[in-house]
Amino acid sequence: MRLFNSVVVRPPVKGITKCVSTHPLRHTVSYDLAVKQHENYVKILREEGIEVYKSPPLEEHPDSVFIQDTGVVRSPSKSALIARFGEPSRRGEEVSVREFLRGMGFTVVDVKEPATLEGGDVLVTKEGVIFVGVTSRTNLQGVEALRRFFKEYKVISVPTDKVFHLLAAVNYIGNKTLVIVPELVDPSYFTGFKLIRIPLEEAYAANMLYLGDNKVLVPEGYPKTSEILKREGYRVIEVDVSEFRKCDGGVTCLSLALYEV
């Protein structure tokens, strides 16, 4: 069974060149290429049977294409936890997502000050366990907000200081299995899961999206990672996200999953 059957996406905006990023090439982001790459990303999801809802672009928010960070959504209970960004310049992106989800019939709960929580720190599994990074973007009060939202789940907090979101270092790919870059996050927090190591030189590829049925969407250009996954029995689907990488964003960041949990 899939972790999610539908997602919400938001197109990139012309101001994406002003994204919050540590990447040395952040000033070379091409808006036109970003639009094409985003359209291709959506096309792949739809081809794999994922329902894609489109939220309108937010011109005043350069990073708003990274919609995953705006919340955590549970499809069966029609409930959503709306983020409070740890990155102050991104606050406000969540407002339209809150209204969009309300329009879809979801009940929304807001993360309240002083808590901060960003979706890129929340690792949802089908095994009754949620991991959450304690990072520069998500604090301990944010973890408590997530615990209240996932009352019946075990929520494990993972101190994370080498990447700014947990999902930049570890991701769930079904079958009680995680991909992980052990140099970037302590593997001991993930007891009970099979861990597949992604080499440090291809760490960006660890931010991958599990599409169900042993299919994984990975960024293009990481041959070692693709080979490792194929050896483990996964079907690898590659997508070019070069412009989003320049904005410190990855494959999971571009969609807000409506989790089947």
Total domains, the chain:
1
Q: Mean per-residue pLDDT for 157-185?
A: 98
3 state DSSP class of 103: helix
d(CA 147, CA 155): 6
Q: Mean per-residue pLDDT for 192-215?
A: 98
Q: Mean per-residue pLDDT for 3-14?
A: 98
**Contact between residue 136 and residue 164 where contact means Cβ atoms under 8 Å apart:** yes
pTM, two decimals, is 0.98
Q: Which of 19, 61, 165, 247 is catalytic?
A: 165
Decide if 165 is catalytic. Answer: yes
Task: Specify the CATH number for the domain of residue 209.
Answer: 3.75.10.10
pLDDT at residue number 1: 78
pLDDT at residue number 70: 98
Q: Mean per-residue pLDDT for 73-84?
A: 98
Q: Quick one: which of 106, 39, 121, 66 has its CA closest to 244?
A: 66
CA-CA-CA-CA torsion sign (90, 247, 180, 213): positive
Q: Which domain holds residue 130?
A: 4-259
